Structure 1
Amino acid sequence: MRKLAAVTTAALLLPAAAHADSGGPDLVGSLAQMVGSLILVIGIILILYYLAGKLMKMPQGKSAGYIRVVETKHLAPKKSLMLVEVGGEYLLLSNSGEGVSLIKQVEMLEEIEVVEEKSAAALIPGQLRKKLEALAGGLPRKEAPLGQLGKSGGFA
């Protein structure tokens, strides 16, 4: 990375140095000042980005508190449903621009329906999958059928 920066700086300074002898303005000094200012500004931005990330970071994972947001489902701008665990009880809350309101208190954990993750093939709508398979049917077959992914994330 440093070599790339040195090569880039040298490539920028060499043409300026060749024209500096012609009696024109001090191009090398101006170019060096511009590059130095740019490096300083980018450095300040990166430092502020790092500090903002450290200061604004919310603690994640298991916390010592008794309130935990289990899931949030955004419905529209400024409108969402939240499932919150408070002291072992589950509450379904509505969050909107007007405020937060209780919809239902879920008594048992069994009442919460656990939705299994869908495979990649199930995420593609039926009609689109048929059209894609029809398009792929005319091509020579080198890979697995559409939507059959391996555990590594690539085609099996």
Structure 2
Amino acid sequence: MWFMYALSWLALLIQAAFVTLGIAAGLYYLAELIEEYTVATSRIIKYMIWFSTAVLVGLYLFEHFPGLMVGVGLFTNLVYFGLLQTFPFIMLTSPNFILSCGACLLHLLPVANPLCLLCFLVSWGECAAFHGATRRRCGIELLHEREEREAVWHSGHLLVH
């Protein structure tokens, strides 16, 4: 039985190597296309930023996402539009690039409440109880938790404590 177990791990490693090589080859091909067709690439990126802006506005209007979080996303999109002015040339020391990196990191943080920053800086396991208590004030509800509650509620199961 051990031989089959070892063989399955070997097969998994070989498959992972081939998948990684396939993804790398595809990304290399996309990089070549982007280098060859910079005007079309710039136009596609601009449309993607406009689409992202529309999604953010829709999330704010229809799903009542926190305004600060949506505002940071819109500011990030504005900075990305600034980066497109010199596309495909981007200087790593330009204010637009530094702002885009900072805005991207800021957008990843739960910006609705500064107390949530503690949960980001401290390991998630140690801070889970604190985060559970402040989640409602943060305006952040994890999607899978909401789906689990709805699945339990709609399936007729009783929660016994």
- State the TM-score, normalized to the length of structure 2: 0.28
Q: Which has the bigger relative contact order, CA under 8 A and spacing at least 6?
A: 2
> When you count strand as a share of all residues, which structure comes out higher?
1
> When you count helix as a share of all residues, which structure comes out higher?
2
- State the TM-score, normalized to the length of structure 1: 0.29
Q: Which has the larger radius of gyration?
A: 1
